[in-house]
Amino acid sequence: MDKYIRNIYRGVYTVLVGMRVTIRQFFEPNVTHQYPYEHDYEKKRNVREIPKGYRGQLYNRIEDCIGCKKCEMICPVDCITITGTKLPRGEQLWDSMNVVHLKDGTEVIGIIEGDDKKIKSEDSITLTNITSRLGSQEVIDRLEPSGAESRTATFSGDEVSRVVTRNPVVFYLDQFDIDMSLCMYCGLCTEVCPTECLVMKDSLEGIEYSKFDRSDLIFNFDKQEMYSKGGTEDVEAAD
């Protein structure tokens, strides 16, 4: 009889203990990560950040690409397609140009007057044939004559942070396609790239690029418009 009653006690007691455990879990926050709708990984428990060097989607900084085709050659699955055009001797897409970076972040593209293109801090720089500018309205207002085809502006040496020379183009890429549906993420192409312009993204965008159509996974990195003379503004805007 003693055992019988003790059995009942134990039965009821253990059930109640179990129920206490489960009801505590009931009021715990949930750990489910509503993945496509929630990106704030840090707020969730037990979710790691994407590590550095993760092999995500391939990306090519086409401005730095020299079209050497090493990546195309080394790719084991032939997912990279590159075709380039070399202009005949003597032809070029544009003349040599200068890009003046001002200290307030403005970039102005044109040709620096005078033969000597060395810049000293005391000198003032006069740009002619300005084709593109990116920056504050204040600088844009200084361009004169405003609205004309050929514009000129003068900057003092204090304003200028650096001047870059953009060489004339004699070779450009017609096509730089990477088919990510074929890519096996071996990373060989990024290792052979001499200019380090072909990289694998180790950020969230390098992971989340699923598409509904396989043809959407072919990414084009060639920027034809970059090489057309009038379109330099687009290049600046795209950056």
Partner 1 sequence: MSDFRAMLASPHFNVSESFFPNINLQDGLNWAEEFIQNVVLPRLPEAVASHFPVELGTVLVMFACAGIFVGVFPLLPLVLVLAERKVSARFQNRTGPMRVGPWGVLQTLADGVKLLFKEDYIPPQGDRFLFLLAPYVIFACSFAVFAAIPFSQSILVSDFNIGIFYIMAISSVIVMGVIMAGWSSNSKWSLLGSLRSAAQIVSYEIPLGLSILTIVMLVESLSMSEIVASQSNGIFSWLIFRTPFTFIAFFIFFISSIAEVNRTPFDLPEAESEIVAGFHTEYSGMRFALFFIAEYANMFAVSAIAVTLFLGGWEGVLPGYDILGGFPGFVIKSLGLVFLMMWLRWTLPRLRVDQLMNLCWKYFIPIAFFNILGTGIWGLIFPEDTLISTSISCAIIYIGLIAAYKVAGRTLAQRPAPQPS
Q: What residue ranges bind partner 1 (CB under 8 A)?
A: 6-13, 15, 18-19, 21-23, 25-26, 28-32, 34
25 versus 137: smaller Cβ distance to partner 1 = 25
Q: How far is the CB of 29 from partner 1 (least distance, A)?
A: 7
Q: How far is the CB of 3 from partner 1 (least distance, A)?
A: 8
Q: How far is the CB of 10 from partner 1 (least distance, A)?
A: 6
Q: How far is the CB of 2 from partner 1 (least distance, A)?
A: 9
> How far is 203 from 212, CA to CA, in rounded Å?
21
Q: Which two tokens stand for residue 220?
A: 């084009």
35 versus 185: smaller Cβ distance to partner 1 = 35
Quick check: helix, strand or coil at residue 233? Answer: helix
29 versus 53: smaller Cβ distance to partner 1 = 29
34 versus 137: smaller Cβ distance to partner 1 = 34
Which residues, other chains included, contact 13 with Cβ-Cβ below 8 Å and sequence gap of 6+? none
Q: How far is the CB of 31 from partner 1 (least distance, A)?
A: 5
> Across 54-136, where does the E strand assignment appear?
58-60, 80-86, 97-102, 107-112, 125-134
Q: How far is CA 205 from the centre of its chain?
A: 10
16 versus 87: smaller Cβ distance to partner 1 = 16
Q: How far is CA 28 from the centre of its chain?
A: 40
Q: Are strands 107-112 and 125-134 parallel, antiparallel or unpaired?
A: antiparallel
Q: How far is the CB of 178 from partner 1 (least distance, A)?
A: 33
7 versus 220: smaller Cβ distance to partner 1 = 7
8 versus 51: smaller Cβ distance to partner 1 = 8
* Buried/exposed code over 184-212 (b: 16+ C-beta within 10 A; e: otherwise): eeeeebbeebeeebbbbbbeeebeeeeee
Q: How far is CA 34 from the centre of its chain?
A: 27
Which residues, other chains included, contact 33 with Cβ-Cβ below 8 Å and sequence gap of 6+? 41, 44, 47
> How far is 134 from 118, CA to CA, in rounded Å?
23
Q: How far is the CB of 6 from partner 1 (least distance, A)?
A: 5
